[in-house]
Structure 1
Amino acid sequence: MLNEAQLSDRPGRRSRRGRSQSTRSKAPGQNLHLRVPYITRRIPTYDLLNDEALERIEATAERILAEIGIELREDAEAMRLYREAGARVTDVSKDVWNLKFEPGMVREILKTAPARFTQHARNPANNVEIGGDATVFAPSYGSPFVMDLDAGRRYGTIGDFENLVKLAQSSPWLHHSGGTICEPTDVPVNKRHLDMVYAHMRYSDRPFLGSITAPERAADSIEMCRILFGSDFVDRNCVIMGNFNTTSPLVLDGVTTAGIRTYAEAGQGSIHLPFLLGGAVSPLTMAGSVAQCLAKSMASCALTQLVRPGAPAVLAGFLSSMSLRTGSPTFGTPEPALGSLVMGQLARRLKLPLRCAGNFSTSKLPDGQAMQQSMMSMMSAIQGGANFILHSAGFLDGLLSMSYEKFVMDCDMAGALHAYMGGIAVTDDTLGFEALAQNGPGEHLFGTDHTLRHYQTAYWDSALNDDQPFETWDEQGGVDYARRANARWKEILNAYEAPPMDEGTDLALRDFVARKKASMEDAWY
């Protein structure tokens, strides 16, 4: 199976220009684009293809579903649901079925899925909206390794996992705690989901993703939410989501479908992501990959509506190119970026929220390659209208490694994107005629009323960039971007304070985790 392997609200560093905080009401990196629970898009999406091209892609997706079909493995209940909805089911072998869907059938099933929904956080101020003009940034997901400039690359631990949750919670530019930010390999495979979900609940007060690696682990994640939010609240609201990577090409395995059913039965959200590697498990050409992605994600999303109509489902696409010389996946390349733009158009036509792209890179260091590739990929999600952007911070080494330095570098970029997506307001005030008129031609504008009114909020202010003259930068040690990021994540962790949690709730969560762990032997694979 191919799978994809957020300090306070004042995250700024001390000014290098000698300006004390007493003379400046905001810290660098925050500016007064105030922290928001999610971004409300104020710029248009970019529509790459015309209607005729989109219709051809949709028709090909329907052909895939009708003529090739989806292979379903080892989930008789899912097979029954699809068959009763009208799918043509053919036995392939024991507990393996081929599902074919008449054109339009899956789209009809998906009409009950919400175009936009709320995922609730334990702090209601941090609830996020997913869909429509809302965009949510979440950290990267799934890396077995972590790295930093001090200790290098190593297997992730539960300590690393907790650190990364704290970094995400501390960033004003992320909105979501994410899920498996790294694999805590020092905890048994069958028990680590308990520690990961608890870490999200204890060290963050933002929404988060639950476990998907087995249906019983999905159930544990939801049960912990019932302790945190209350059972009645969970039954009426989305408080957790599962990020499901489906097997490519065109396979739904039983572990995945049982997990999808578990989340849907509880009325919780799920993300449906075919991981497509062009030339390996999808056509090399991007139009073909997009058609396959649409077909597969639609079929997977449809299962949620067969289980519980109205359950939140997120259409998703992870489109990747590959080096045909080596067979290695490549990330942050232009062709998948174009594919993400098209996925945005298709999701809007289907009236489903979209997850795609993120800060992707195959670089092994937090360097120029890392940020160039990340920007290529991330901007495709922004321009394409993605609603939930996983992998917004930390992605390095082709997703094999979560980098502490890259994490804060990406958060800084996410801050810039908040300003970018805010667009340009055109009013009598913002047109600034009075700024020019107050002193007239030939006079600077530093002391004008307009400048004094806007200087704290006009521009995004980076927490990491060094914009000083070369000589000043050199005299201060010539510290490069990666080393500034290294110092930055340490400052953030040193200043971190956990959001308050009711002691009784915390005790109940820890008791649940302890009892579940005691009920099973350790399993390391």
Structure 2
Amino acid sequence: MKLNYSIGTDEEVQRIHETSLKILSEVGVSFRCEAAFDIFRKHGARVENGIVHMDEKLVERALSTLPKTYDWYDRLGNKITIGNKITHNAPSYGPMYVCQNGKYELSNHKHLVNFHKLHETSKVIDISNPNVIDVSYVHGEAREKYRLGIALKYCQKPLMGLVEGKAVATESLETMCRFYGLEDVRRQIIATGLIDTMGPMQMSTAMSEALITYAELGQAVIICAGQTFGVTTPQSMAGVYALGNAMILAAMVLAQLAHPGTPVVYCGKFDSSDMRLRSAAAYGGIEAMLACATSRRMADFYGVPLHSGTSNTDSKLMDYQAGAESFMNLLTAYLLKVECQVHACGLLDSMNSIGYEKFILDEEKIESLKHLIKGYEIDDSTIMFDSILRTGPTGQHFERTQKSYRRDFIMPKLSIRDNHNSWMQAGCPSAESLATKEWLRRLEEYTMPEMSGEQAKILDTLIPEEYR
């Protein structure tokens, strides 16, 4: 038996698509990028006063070259496949603060290294990310090289890319290519760049340039609708989704016109809203489940993989709110078979913070969700009628632990399930205190990846001396 979760009708999905086409044609998109304008003009789009207008034929022609799946390679030549309805988890992306044992401090080099180590030793994190936390403690001109260098030094899993404009995107991809020992970066996909649009219908120069660069160099992109409910969008779920989908469509079209066949991962709006707040974003709102489900329908409509779901919560504490909101967001991703889940573990404080204990607890929750979506089998062996018949109406089934039990149930390490007296005798541990011990153990047992002399020389050009 399997769990199923969906939303909407085919007619409603078609309505969102048709409204998005109308927005692209009548409202248009601002890309703030001459290279983007040139590409659109070349393919017959109308460009006036910095606004691109595209008709349905152009959109449909571009969408016809979208691949359904792609293989993403790591430095050792291993790969994961994105687009087969299997969830692959990626780390956080840019929190400014780090929470340890309930205390907050600004991100720093030690925390960056620590989280890379936790990701590499994780059973649930499948992807590495140079953008794990904010690195404003590094001089501006050195930041992007530093991000990449530290990730290459400590990580072996498939790596997300850098997207701060054409120069950074090009240099970082070429550097990765050399570090991986490849002759040509176009030979295989070694990076996926997260391209975040701006509301209501615009994309920055840096994001536009990065999108084009990734496409031309044969790499993949995640296109995220960066709208905020009621601020850069109408104050309705349908309105925000039509607008966000239109912007994703526009970016997908640009990627395909720049290089047909560029792999694109769809990322619709997956937070909620609270208009009492200055930012209006409320990542823990129950409406996030509706938004994520809509994203699944739209990604399937266009035949592309989906990024959605997070470990995010608006709570600043490791409390009931944090657990409930994080579970909601993680559960949705697994029920909907999201292919790529960025921010998979550790987030607090509306994406502003990441916590060590939160990271470990989210990991265990993801393990339980992987177990959940497998469901359970019903057949002659699992029904166990012979056992029921043998025991009779008044007997007991208390016996040696069976294989069926170990298959159908998991035994978490961090949840406190023992009786009260045993818990007292153990010193009243909490899930959080057990998580502290776990992340400290993981850091202690981490081993550095092997590295050639040539790779070490590349790192020396990327990482400032004080951080080597």
- Please report the TM-score for the alignment, with normalisation by the length of structure 2: 0.93
SS at match of 1:276: coil
Residues 303-356 of structure 1 show CA distances to partners (whole Å, capped at 9, x for unaligned) of: 221122112111112333332223342112122320110110111011011112
Alpha-carbon distance change, 512 to 436 in structure 1, aligned in 2, over 3 angstroms: farther
Partner of 2:363: 411
Identity of aligned residues (%): 26
Q: Which moved more, 1:365-374 or 1:43-52?
A: 43-52
Residues 431-482 of structure 1 show CA distances to partners (whole Å, capped at 9, x for unaligned) of: 333443565554444546xx43344443222231111012211232222222
Given that 1:317 and 1:357 are in contact with CA atoms closer than 8 Å, whether structure 2 keeps it comes out as no
Given that 2:335 and 2:373 are in contact with CA atoms closer than 8 Å, whether structure 1 keeps it comes out as no
SS at match of 1:115: coil
Letter aligned with residue 9 of structure 2? N
Partner of 2:129: 178
2:151 to 195, 200, 209: 200
Letter aligned with residue 112 of structure 2? F
Partner of 2:54: 101
Partner of 1:62: 21
SS at match of 2:382: coil
Partner of 1:355: 307
Alpha-carbon distance change, 85 to 365 in structure 1, aligned in 2, over 3 angstroms: same
Find out whether 1:84 has 2:39 as its counterpart: no
Partner of 2:247: 296
Letter aligned with residue 137 of structure 1? N
Alpha-carbon distance change, 114 to 120 in structure 1, aligned in 2, over 3 angstroms: same
TM superposition shift of 1:168:
1.2
Matches within 5 A, 1:337-486: 337-437=289-389, 442-447=394-399, 451-486=401-436
TM superposition shift of 1:45:
5.2
Distance (whole Å) between structure 1 residues aligned to residue 214 and residue 87 of structure 2: 22
Partner of 1:116: 69
TM superposition shift of 1:54:
1.3
Alpha-carbon distance change, 187 to 478 in structure 1, aligned in 2, over 3 angstroms: same
SS at match of 1:479: coil
Given that 2:241 and 2:269 are in contact with CA atoms closer than 8 Å, whether structure 1 keeps it comes out as no
Distance (whole Å) between structure 1 residues aligned to residue 188 and residue 397 of structure 2: 51
Letter aligned with residue 51 of structure 1? D
SS at match of 1:410: helix
Given that 2:85 and 2:338 are in contact with CA atoms closer than 8 Å, whether structure 1 keeps it comes out as no
Partner of 1:305: 256
Partner of 2:187: 236
TM superposition shift of 1:59:
1.3
Letter aligned with residue 504 of structure 1? G
Residues 167-212 of structure 1 show CA distances to partners (whole Å, capped at 9, x for unaligned) of: 1111112211234110123212332222322333232221121211
SS at match of 2:268: strand
Alpha-carbon distance change, 504 to 473 in structure 1, aligned in 2, over 3 angstroms: same
TM superposition shift of 1:505:
4.4
Alpha-carbon distance change, 310 to 201 in structure 1, aligned in 2, over 3 angstroms: same
Gaps of 5+ in 1: 1-41, 92-96, 519-525
Alpha-carbon distance change, 195 to 305 in structure 1, aligned in 2, over 3 angstroms: same
Find out whether 1:265 has 2:249 as its counterpart: no
Partner of 2:206: 255
Letter aligned with residue 81 of structure 1? I
Letter aligned with residue 181 of structure 1? V
Given that 1:227 and 1:508 are in contact with CA atoms closer than 8 Å, whether structure 2 keeps it comes out as no
Find out whether 1:506 has 2:464 as its counterpart: no
Distance (whole Å) between structure 1 residues aligned to residue 94 and residue 444 of structure 2: 25
Gaps of 5+ in 2: none
Letter aligned with residue 188 of structure 1? H
TM superposition shift of 1:385:
3.2
Distance (whole Å) between structure 2 residues aligned to residue 424 and residue 431 of structure 1: 11
Letter aligned with residue 166 of structure 2? P
Distance (whole Å) between structure 1 residues aligned to residue 316 and residue 426 of structure 2: 28
TM superposition shift of 1:388:
0.6
Find out whether 1:141 has 2:99 as its counterpart: no
- Please report the TM-score for the alignment, with normalisation by the length of structure 1: 0.83
Q: Which moved more, 1:416-425 or 1:264-273?
A: 416-425
Residues 372-405 of structure 1 show CA distances to partners (whole Å, capped at 9, x for unaligned) of: 1112222222233321111111111111111111
Residues 120-140 of structure 1 show CA distances to partners (whole Å, capped at 9, x for unaligned) of: 122445x22111322111122
Distance (whole Å) between structure 2 residues aligned to residue 90 and residue 132 of structure 1: 40
Residues matched between the structures, number: 464
Distance (whole Å) between structure 2 residues aligned to residue 248 and residue 240 of structure 1: 26
Distance (whole Å) between structure 2 residues aligned to residue 318 and residue 168 of structure 1: 26
SS at match of 2:141: coil
